[in-house]
Every structure is written in C-alpha cells, then in structure tokens.
Homo-oligomer: A and B are copies of this chain.
Amino acid sequence: MAPTTTERSPASEAWSLLADLVAGQRGRMMCVCSDLELAPGQLMALKWLDPDTPAPMGDLAHALSCDNSNVTGIIDRLEERGLVQRRPATHDRRVKMLVVTPRGRELRRRIKARMEEPPEPLLRLDEGEQRALRDLLRKALDGG
C-alpha cells in the first residue's frame, strides 16, 4: 500500500488554504450581520446589488446560487425595511427590477466597509507580499 500522503498540486493546496482563510472569518461576518441587523442572505443580497444599476430578481438568484423562490423571501424582508424596491421592468413585464433605496445605499456602504477590512493573517504579510498576493489574485480572476 502506498502511504496516505498523496502528492498535492500547488493549485489544490492554495485553494484549500484560501478556503480555510475565508472559513476562519465566518464569525466576523456573522458579527457584521448581527451589528447591522441583517440575516446572512439579506447581507449578501444587499452587498451584491449595485446601487447604480437595477438588476432583475433572477440575476440575484444566480449570483447567490439559490432558487428564485428564495430570493422572493429575502427581498420581501429588505423591502419591508425600505432598503430596496421592486420595480416593473419596461422591456418585459414578467421581470421585476431591484432598486437600492438611499437608505439601502447607506447600509450597503457600511457593509462593504466592514467586510473589506483585511483579516489578521493577511496583515502579517509585509507590504510587498500583500501586493504580490493581490496581483496573483487579480490575474486569476481577470478572466485572462
């Protein structure tokens, strides 16, 4: 029998480390939810919505990797609090466009400010390493 220590590709190990880093910040995300009185799905939805570009409900469902029927409930709660509004689409009357209200825009700004604070492990890297990490991730995600 071969030993259980299998060869791991750099990409696979990088991915695991990266997922662990994000998972380790889950508690912090829940704190943001709690402080701003938003359930996790509501926070993700408001964070994803672009205040300058209304989006159909279906696009949000796709971004959140969940079903349309779920988005109905999430938006119900955000709309009750006056953070977003449903508006009929002009081009297709089946579609409802989601618009972020001024109040939603302000809350979204606070969400982003809190979520963008880098976690402690990244702050342990020196400035050059932080830039190198940023550049590698930019390159990976740029679609090039």
Contact = CB atoms under 8 A, between A and B. Distances in A.
B140 A14 contact: no
B30 A133 contact: no
Copies of this chain assembled into the complex: 2
Contact of A12 (B116, B125, B136): B116
A133 B14 contact: yes
Interface string A1-13: 0000000111111
The secondary-structure label for the interface of chain A is helix
A104 B144 CA distance: 40
A5 B14 CA distance: 31
Interface string A80-97: 000000000000000000
Interface residues of A, number: 46
A141 B116 contact: no
Contacts of A19: 22, 115
A37 interface: no
Interface in A90-135: 115-119, 121-125, 127, 129-134
Contact of A21 (B121, B124, B137): B137
Contact of A125 (B22, B130, B134, B139): B139
